[in-house]
Structure 1
Amino acid sequence: MRVVSRLRLLPPPAARAAATAVPPGVPRRRAAVRGAARVAVFLALASVPLGAVPAAGQLGAPGGGAGSQLLSPPRLPPVLPDGTPLPSLPPSAQEDILQRIIGASAGRAGGAPGTPRGAPAAAPSPPPSSVTAPPSPPASAEEPLSNLEAFFAARFDPAPDPPLRQFGYDTFRVPPPGAAAPPPLGLLPDDYRLGRDDELVLAFRGRARQTLTVRVGRDGMLLLPDLPPVPAAGRTLRELRADLEARAQRDLGGSEVFVSIGQVRQIGVFVAGEVARPGIHALTALATVLDALAAAGGVRKTGSLRAIRIDGPGGTSRTVDLYAVIAGAPGRPDLSLQEGERVVVPPLGATVAIAGEVTRPGIYELPAGASGAPLAALVEIAGGTLRPAGNRFLVQRTDAQGRRNVAETGLRDILRRGDAVRVEPGADVTVNQLRLSGHVVAPLTRASGGRDGLSLRALLADPRLIRPDPYPRLGVVWRADPATRVRRFLPFDLGRVLRGQADMRLADSDEVVVLGQADIQWLASPPVQRALRGEAPGEEGPGACPALVQLAVAARASPHRFAHARGAGFPDIGAPPCPRIFLDYPALLPFLLDQTVLLTGEARQPGLYPILNDTGLDALLAAAGGTTDAVDLSAVEFAREPVEQSAAIPLARNLLDLRSRNFAAVRLSPRDAVRLPRGFADRDIGPVTLLGEFQRPGVYDIRRGERLSEVIARAGGLTPQAYPYGAVFTRESVRQRQQEGFLRTARELETSLLQVAAGQAVAGSRGSPADLGSAITAGRELANAIREARAAGRMVVEANPTVLAARPERDVLLEPGDLIVMPKRPNEVTVVGAVLNPGSLQFVSGWRAADYLRAAGGAQRFADTSRAFVVLPNGQSTPAGLSAWQQGGPPIPPGSLVVVPQDPSPYETWGFVRDLTQVLTQVSISSAALAVIGRQVRN
């Protein structure tokens, strides 16, 4: 801090007049700018607090600000950037004003805030040490362990992770190259005692106008012009300032003097002992023991931090305990250093280690000269325990025979050299609490209510704790038995509890679990059904569901336990993920299935529903969303398992007439089964679709037993462009059978390939291995093509209304999901397969398959014309008749498909060749049907 005795904010009248005058030849606008700048000068000056004016010459110096000190007299000209002279002010104030104005023009603040008068000023940066310290690497977990650290690491089982380190030795680490220098540790208070070679900056204002930089001489005096020598050595900065102010007032005609420290003197300190770089180090007079140790590269881990000795030149000596500084131990050590003092770091003293539940685990040194220390003192230095109470202290101590003994100790016990202490929780048990989890807004922890306990109704008094769509029929309490600590589930009726009609007294550590509708629907999911059959879930890793594993184990151990739950749900529907509730409570899944009722039939949400004993059917139907409109309540099927599982006791099954809707009279128990039958309806399940050349194509509902001609009539009949002979009629059940046939044929083909390859390898192939390999490759490609072929499910039907009227026996009965596509009359015939130019050719009346084959360029060399066939427009297939004695076959109608297969001679030795023609025919029929359907959909 600059020390300022007084500061005048306004210049003398003469200076103000000179400053406000406009020089000749200067434009008025420029003069106005100068005037504004002068106003800014005075405003900026007025904002500088007394005692906070930065020293002159500080611009650009590192750490420039209120705490920077002058190293040389100021040399900046007292003018503004445009050349206007500044008022007559101290140079430090002039330079500060220039910095503020220049900084404001550059968009940044100039000058650092000042420090109130009388506050300690920051000391100048100390000069570099006489020995340049090489940078030390920062402390890290990869740093090798010292011998002492390795010794204590072997004392703990398990070893602490990260390993324990000796405390305090990273305090003196030197920063890496390029890092900013740390701030000086010393301060410059007003009671700083001056000595020889201290540099002072004195600025006189008034009749004597000058700035001097002087040093305290070897005789301890300050030599100043126009003043007698002033004694300085041994005096405080405050005393010297007062003396100079008095002398200036008396001897210099009332002049003012401003006193600041330019540079603090240097002292030489010898550092010896367990340090990285022993020797003499040059420090400032403000340096402390910590500065000296840092200049020496820090204390080695073999050196003591609690018995550092300071030897004075007169034979005096004192001991410094650095734990009082870096660990907050009791005491206020004197860290100051004087010229000629010596710092000695002795070897490390007795140490103990502490690990576990403390804030700062580590290896600590006992006080100097002490053979032991209370455990409480060690815990205090280690930052205290993490838990305020309930800790156990285990000490490992080596006896005279070298054996390690572990004993429980207390805070008052005395620790000895080499003791290793582990702090553990005495009883890490939480008592007097309840948890609410599951289908809630957020998991909740509440106090259990003491001896009487909290009730379930009181815990759920606020319904906003529960998320929307809970399952009202059953919740569970997960309770630990007081004697055995084995947990079990206790069910309760959530709906009755929320309505205030039921309650349960809760015990300490109870966990109340609320179920959601999604959790209940998952009970009938395919993964649960597979686990009920004893199949262990194949999924592992983060997505695995431990509840399914427990269920599969229980189902295998007791096959009849979950017999009532098997068969629920739909196995062909995708598997939803495991709900979170069953991840947190895996044993909950088997428990809920033990409590379920199987509801099937005309319920809006059939499935498995867990209930309490003596639950009404009305409550079950409410949980399932009620019944559908198609339900037949006159014959509701109700089944109950006998109490004693025996083959001699039959399953009790009854038909109930519930047309009065007195559902509450039917009382249910877990493991019951209820089936709601569907009433008879003339309307069939699902519509049929008409596409193409109908007068009114679209989707039509059908009644039971409705025929194709009736639906065509409802659609207004056919258009004049319709081609009934090429109608495509598909049915889902037929498609499934055809697809299964494709897959079966592909499997048989692959099996035959393996058999042929094995047989040829044993008996020897008649052909070359290359030919055999090519044949097997072709066979595999054919199998893949058959497997990937899409079946159309086409049936050959008569779709001409005139023919159907004359021959009603050909009028097919419709099924839900049937698709009828009526194409326009085509004018082409398509030739595909082993021909030279496959494609569609214009229809010519009277032409046969041979004619269209010649028009397509003829058959290829490897074609098998004897197996060529024609797919007619109605889906039937017939031989093409390309042999000489068949004379080209019958005439082909428009819309037909001529297929010429390849020669199967490479496969003639295989037993499946005779089936390939039939399979390829079915594939061709499906392809043609799908092509017709695709054209109609696009149109």
Structure 2
Amino acid sequence: MKTQTTIIFTAALLLAIGTLCVPASAQNDPQDAWLANKSYNQFTYAQAAKAPEQTYRDDLLPTDTPAAENALPGTAEELPLATDALEERHPASPIEALYAHRAVEDLKQFGYDLFEDQPPASEKSTAPLGTVQDSFILGTGDTLRITFTGQRTGTALYKIDSDGQILIDDFPPIPAAGQSIESLRHILITQAKNLPNTQIYMSLAAVRQIGVLVIGNVSNPGLKRLSAFQTIIDALSAAGGISKDGSLRQVRLIRNGHSHPIDLYNILIRPDTAPQTDIDMNLRDGDRLIVPPLGPTLAISGAVKRPGIYEIRKTFSGGAEKLSLSDMLALSGGILAPGQNRFMKFTLTKDGEETVEEVQDRSAPQFSDGAILGVARGQEKRAGMIELTGNTRRPGLHDLSRNKSLSALLNNDQALGPDTYPLAGIIERYDPDLMSKRYLAFPVRLVLTKRYDQNLQEGDTIRLLSKTDIESLQDRTPETRAKPVSLKSPDKDTEDLPPELTAFLSEHAAYLRGAVRNPGLYPVGPGETLEGLLAASGGPALEADTSNIEITALLPGAQASAPRRKINLQETNPADIDIRAGDAVRINGKTQRAEEKTVLISGEVTSPGQYDLLPGDKVSDLLKRAGGLTPQAYPFGAIFSRESERKSEQLRFRAAAQDMQRSLAAAIERDKNPPGAAQIEMVRGLAAELGAIQAVGRITVETDPAKLEIKPELDMLLEPGDRLYIPKRPLTVRVSGEVLSPASLQFRSGKDPLDYIHEAGSFTYNADKDRTFVLYPDGSAQPLQVNTWNHKPALIPPGSTIIVPRDPKPFDFIESARDVSQILSNLAITSIFIDDLRN
């Protein structure tokens, strides 16, 4: 006890001495005062690190914290003292007290408030939100709602008994525990086939209670009774939440002897990209959740959006991972405001001494267990100074007396950052007469080669751009130059360049088009040449005609004596051709470039595969290049699929599915005549089928070489991504849709469509006879009259498919029912095409 008192007294005395001994120069610079105060408290930090846990009390925390003017720059009067944390409702944990003492700022352990003020698990809803997934595993105690329609009707609830079975009249005992909803539904449908003209539907009515053991560093460990739909977060909340000496990043779920790691930071910081396991993985009876002790930590303080103490992961070797400055800023949500922020790293040596260094490299991993990142906002303006910013290796303030001109400031390429844009930099200068900022462009590469210079003034900001900054200008045209664009500045964490600066760059740009590698807008400074413009764009393309270059002055007054010039680079040096803001440069090409995409042909051709596409290629050209058709080929049944049509068809399917879901929701909300469970299940199944089916994008084409030779107007031009499949000559006719036994039947000349339908078992109860149609091998379709009162024979060639659509009457209760018939037909056709391509 005596030793502890001595340590506390000595620490307090040195704190007081340290405050009095702050250098006088620090009184004029808040940031220096802050750093000076921390350096004079190194002994206290060392003692705090070595002292026992009980020494972290309010009598050890600094009571002589520097005044507002000496506090962390940019956050004065906003930062609570470390002692304030001890007066709150929740006392600070030992690790919070240590970091608050070192950072001279109240810091909280991140993420533990997730479990504060949570309602008890018994008060939370145990019902799922939305449709229960078919993959949900059933267990003893679950209640199922089973509905019969047809000859047997009725709805009843069945509970899975202790033997894991459900008992239904006229059915044998059915094992249900351990089955997924989807697999049990298939079992019931199979059993229901023994009942004539009866359909069965099943859904989950109520879920069982499960027991989950939560142990480790939680407030109330033990066995928790939950519903099968509750998640890992619910289980931890039921245990009172994770205590501050427990880990948020190393939670383990033990299931069937296997351990699954859970990182709760994925929910707290990256919920949009978090793995499904970390967010809402359903629990199972017998699961165990283990919360190990807190792992390695570090802290972030100062001018950031979310200062606090963060846990970091352990490496495979048992040590702590190392984070870069960018990683630290991402953890804390980023800096509070853009500007010339300074980043200080505080670490403890093995002897407990505090070391401070300024971070220069943002990407180097350097923050590990026990480190603190302090973010300080620097002063924006100083007398006799200029500022260099943007894509530079020497950002910050520079002495004007030593850098009176651009050539003095940028005296070599060491000041440039990687991929600096060479054609233009920006001088931001304040005009006191106009009380506004104005911009001046200068050619960076010409400054470096001493061919251009300009004097600088106090307060100037010289901004260097990167090639990435210019990429967002590449899609702009001269007609839309006044429209603002978004550019990212490398030295700012989240802020865009000012809109007036992006407009200035657009106005002071030359437009390059034609046979160049990267056409687009390129800002240019005074004195720039065609040589620099071509180099910045990657140079002329291989097919470029450098003897035929056209330069047009688009801005009024620019080169009015020669608004359009013709340049021949075989006779003229491009370094002698001036390029000014507003010029449009076009380089013509000598030849057409081959398409950089392919078409695919498969099936009954001699050499199937992918073929490069040239402009003007047609179907007949592709057939010749593939070696022609084989003797077994059936060109009448060719399937031609086009990329653009596939996308359009896919969008139509998705839109129809969304429209059906909206109509179903509106029908359920109706007060009168709401749909039944069977109808809801039917519509949801159709919507799911629409959302999942892959479009084919078939176009009817002629692929018979003999016919194409006679009628060349039928020879279709090919596009990149086209697919052509030539099937074998078939000897069957397929009957699909609402028939009792869909099948491929032997083709016989003279057979009627109704004959094929009868061979397939005739119509089902849900068949829509009036909309029966035939799908011919070439993709065209024709309605059929197969009712007894309006029967009309039709010619059915081999390879055709007779489709009996589903009756849309069960969907009459939704608003979009008038479109269901067309949807059902399209689904049937698409399924046939997919089967053909798969076979």
- Structure ID, larger Rg: 1
TM-score by length of 2: 0.48
